[in-house]
Amino acid sequence: MNTLAKITALAATLALAACGSDDNSQTAEKAEETAPEAATEHEAATEHDGMMEKAEGMADTVMEKAEGMAGAAMEKASEMAETVKLDASSLDSFKSSLTAMKGSLSGDQSGQLTNALTSLAKGATEESGGLMGAAKDLAAGKSMEETLYEKLGDQLNGMSFDDILKLAG
Q: Does the pLDDT of residue 105 top 70, yes or no?
A: yes
Radius of gyration of the chain (CA): 40
pLDDT digits over 11-23, tens only? 566 566 556 555 5
pLDDT mean across residues, the chain: 74
Q: What is the arithmetic mean of pLDDT over 23-29?
A: 55
Rounded Cα gap, residues 124 and 143, in angstroms: 15
Residue 151 pLDDT: 82
Rounded Cα gap, residues 134 and 127, in angstroms: 11
Contact, 84 vs 163, CB < 8 A? no
Rounded Cα gap, residues 73 and 106, in angstroms: 10
Is the pLDDT higher at 50 or at 45?
Answer: 50
The one-letter code for the residue type at 150 is E
pTM: 0.47
Q: Does the pLDDT of residue 116 top 70, yes or no?
A: yes
Rounded Cα gap, residues 134 and 143, in angstroms: 11
Which of these, 116, 159, 152, 151, lies nearest to 134 by C-alpha position?
151
Rounded (to 5) percent helix, strand, coil in the chain: 85, 0, 15
Q: Does the pLDDT of residue 118 top 70, yes or no?
A: yes
Residue 148 pLDDT: 79
Rounded Cα gap, residues 70 and 105, in angstroms: 14
Q: Torsion angle, CA of 46/48/54/60, rounded to 10 degrees?
A: -120
Residue 13 pLDDT: 62
- Per-residue confidence band for 58, with pLDDT thresholds at 50, 70 and 90: confident
Q: Where exactly are the structural domains of the chain?
A: 23-83, 85-168
